[in-house]
Amino acid sequence: MIHRRFFLTSVILLFAGSVISQTRAFQLEDVNRLVGISGVQLSPDGKSVLYTTSTRNLEENRYDRTTWLMDIKTNTSKEFAVDLSGASSFQWSPNGREVAMTVRADNGSQIYIMDISSGETKQVTSSPTGIRRYIWSPDGNSFAFIANEERPKLSDNSHNNALRLGNNDYLLSRAPAPASVWIISKSGGEAKKVLPEGMTVGTGLSLSSLAWSPDGSLIACTVYPSPYSGDSDLGRNYLLELATGKATPATSHGKLETSPRFTADGKGLLFSYPRDGVPANQRELHVLDLSSKSVTNISKSLDRTVYGSLPVKDGMVITGVDDHQSGLWLLKGSKFTKIDKGEHDNISSLSMNKDGNMAFVGSAAGLAPELYFRSSVKSKPVKLTNANEFVNQLTLGKREAITWESNDDLRPNGIVTYPPNFEDSKKYPLVLLVHGGPTSSSGVGWNQVAQAMASKGWIVFQPNYRGSNNLGNAFQSAIANDPSEGPGHDVIAGVQELKKRPYIDSNKIAVSGWSYGGWMTSWLIGRYPEEWAAAVAGAAPVDFTDMYSLSDLNRMRRHSITDSPYKGENLQWAIDNSPLSNLSKIKAPTLIMSKTGDYRVSITGSYKLYGALRDNNIPVDFIGYPGPGHFPGDPVRYMDVYTRWIGWLEKYIGSTVEIEGLSR
């Protein structure tokens, strides 16, 4: 246990939680009791695991984070790196005798090492700009790390702070610094730069991963043409020869490559690349044969978005998204075998050793996240923590995966969450909770917001429209050149299918979402104005030209939805396919929320939506959260977002508070 100092065709029914001795529903306030678990790092011998817990400190408006070292056999934990405030990014040494970490300092985070036996710690780096990412060398004697270059000093005319803006977000106030790769001995000393001048391994949006070949002769990283965020789709994997200092492109692709890592035998380089080099396609796992220089897409037959790969004996474990759940597959040769996840719909923070021992955070529709261990891919998971045990004492709504027919021969799917103590003889409002991305998806696993909404007596619908990353390449890429009408049709077709069910109150349907979910919300309430009783649009981009010109994504083709709006006749197309074109038709009372310094979706879109509703006398409220970021990152304002969100919907569609035993 954790020692705490605090604290509609195919149907799958997932009954969440026990029905015994439960007295009330999971409500929004219960979010403050949840313990986050992340940063899982399994020791090389599989006997210990490092993990970090986070709890909400509302009084000081922060997340309190604690790292623990657990002995798996005895299931006992002790607080780790107690005297190193701000320690994070823990990594076991190859021999398991030491743990490296980054520790915050005045000049940025630095690498420290702790000896597990003695507890002795020492500082390794003194980078003037701080460490952004690091890895151990295969022999455990050195580190490779990424750090920003030092900015050039201003000229004699120090009052002149003009800068070249270029492909970046509109909030840029100083030129972004390039990042490079250094190597340093674990005993410290002077770091050696290994990336040639004029190259950068980071942009304002992306940062290269690092990989060291098993024989120690090569480092692989992704090189970008500039540190500007709008160039982050132009990454190209390079091989750095440590003996000669030579940097060579790994393949002839030229761009769109990320996440290089060597195969266990050192003969190949694995990396992420979109199918056939088309940006709209899903990212899949490719391998470069370092001898023949041939490249093979090894996950194409799987036809699922792949997140990563972890080496095990005679193969590798592949992670990704599979329909409405996390995907885990064992790849041996060219054969994929799905790994049984047991009761877990969602698996995150997976850490494995070469023997196939696994530590991970698992959750399900009725199971809040906890830490688990498996001795092999075939063994049953053993729960190591009970950080969120209180959830088992509450009544949760059951979650159901549904599919329906749309146009273009597509069959989207989505997740429905029912109110606790649901009765099909009653009528319930329907609330849409639309995911962002668009290359993301909603699954049947644990979702605290959906449960909080369901506790109001609402049926919550989370549609996976075209562009979502859970149903294969054809479904994801179908959003290309169709950013609104196609996905919007997928969503409305799902709503129409649900409305056939007698317990849906067709007069009380609301739609809501953040980011691309806000785009879809804004599109739907203008394109289908008679359908909605209320709406919540968070960080809503309503104008494609804003996204192309002002966002940190900038000139990148937004998930390959379309080309530049400023070429040829594209501008009118961009307007017609933006929610902007239908804002005057909106009838639904709408709550708008945004960060004032949002670098991803400029607040200009929210102002346009607000102005349209105001000028047409539609009930509207516009809430801004000061500061940078795409969503409030602090616990107080996180709660404020969803309190307002749920409160606005409750004002216009009501709540089923008469559910026995579930009222507040």
Show the tokens assigned to 76: 């006992």
Give the amino acid at 62: R
**What are the phi and psi torsion angles at 218 (to 5°)?**
-130, 150
Identify the pLDDT of residue 659: 42
Tokens of 256: 């769109």
Model confidence pTM above 0.75: yes
CA atoms of 622 and 178, how far apart (whole Å) = 37
H or E, element range at 451: helix 448-454
Residue among 304, 319, 199, 182 at smallest CA distance from 248: 199
Measured between alpha carbons, how far is residue 448 from residues 148, 363, 401, 460 in Å?
Answer: 37, 11, 17, 12
In a domain, 592, yes or no: yes
Q: How far apart are alpha carbons 575 and 582 in whole angstroms? A: 10
Contact between residue 515 and residue 439 where contact means Cβ atoms under 8 Å apart:
no
| Structure token digits, residue 281 | 């396609």
Asked if residue 406 belongs to a domain, the reply is: yes
Strands (E) in 125-243, as ranges, are 133-136, 142-148, 179-185, 192-193, 211-212, 218-223, 236-241
Cα separation, 557 vs 27, whole angstroms: 39
pLDDT of residue 664: 33
Strands (E), 353-447: 358-364, 367-374, 382-383, 399-403, 413-417, 428-434
Q: Is the dihedral of CA 81, 83, 88, 90 positive or negative?
A: negative
Query: CA–CA separation, 353 vs 313, rounded Å?
Result: 10
Q: In this structure, is residue 512 part of a structural domain?
A: yes
Domain containing residue 448:
392-653
Tell me whether residue 555 is in a domain: yes
Nearest 10 degrees: Cα torsion 129, 132, 133, 137: 10
Cα angle 132, 56, 456 (rounded to 5 degrees) comes to 125
| Nearest-angstrom CA–CA distance, 529 and 533 | 9
* 589 three-class SS: coil
The closest of 645, 637, 524, 519 to 591, measured between CA atoms, is: 645
Cα 180 from Cα 194, distance rounded (Å): 8
Q: How far is CA 638 from the centre of its chain?
A: 17
**Where does residue 545 rank: exposed (0-12), middle (13-18), buried (19+ CB within 10 A)?**
middle
Instruction: Express each pLDDT in 114-155 by its tens digit.
Output: 999 999 999 999 999 999 999 999 999 999 999 999 987 766
pLDDT score at 156: 64
Helices H, strands E: what count in the chain? 8, 37
Q: Work out the end-to-end distance of the chain between its first and last CA atoms, rounded to an integer number of angstroms.
A: 31
Alpha helices in 300-390 (DSSP H): none
Q: Characterise 140 by phi-psi region: left (phi > 0), alpha (psi -120 to 50), beta (else).
A: left
Q: What pLDDT is stored for residue 617 in this prediction? A: 98
**Domain-embedded: residue 33:** no
CA 362/CA 349 separation, integer angstroms: 9
Q: Residues near 51 by Cβ (< 8 Å), separated by ≥ 6? A: 37, 38, 39, 40, 41, 67, 68, 70, 349, 359, 371
Question: Residue 589: inside a domain, yes or no?
Answer: yes
Residue 76 lies in a domain: no
Largest CA distance in the chain: 78
SS3 219: strand
Residues 635 and 62 sit within 8 Å (Cβ to Cβ): yes
H-state helical runs in 458-577: 473-477, 485-499, 516-527, 544-550, 570-576
3-state secondary structure of 556: coil
Total domains in the chain come to: 1
Question: Whole-angstrom Cα distance, residue 529 to residue 523?
Answer: 10
pLDDT in tens, 630-659: 999 999 999 999 999 999 999 999 987 554
300 lies in some domain:
no
| Contact assessment for residue 206 and residue 235, using Cβ atoms and an 8 Å cutoff | yes
Distance CA 360, CA 347 (A): 7
Contacting residues for 83 by C-beta, under 8 A, at least 6 apart: 121
3-state secondary structure of 522: helix
Residue 271, exposed/middle/buried by CB under 10 A (0-12, 13-18, 19+)?
A: buried
Determine contact, residues 491/479, Cβ cutoff 8 Å. Answer: no
DSSP, residue by residue, 599-648: SSS-THHHHHHHHHHHHTT--EEEEEEEEESSS--SHHHHHHHHHHHHHH
**CA 144, CA 261: separation in Å to the nearest integer?**
14
Which stretches in the chain have pLDDT values below 70? Answer: 1-22, 154-157, 557-560, 657-664
Give burial (CB, 10 Å; 0-12/13-18/19+) of 144: buried
Q: What is the pLDDT of residue 657?
A: 56
3-state secondary structure at position 460: strand
Tokens at residue 450, please?
């959906």
C-beta of residue 112 within 8 angstroms of C-beta of residue 101 = yes
Which amino acid makes up residue 611? G
CATH number of the domain residue 404 falls in: 3.40.50.1820
Residues in contact with 129: Cβ distance below 8 Å, sequence separation at least 6, in sequence order: 107, 108, 147, 148, 149, 150, 177
Residue whose C-alpha is closest to residue 565's, from 542, 546, 539, 584: 546
Residue pair 444/325 in contact (Cβ under 8 Å)? The answer is: yes
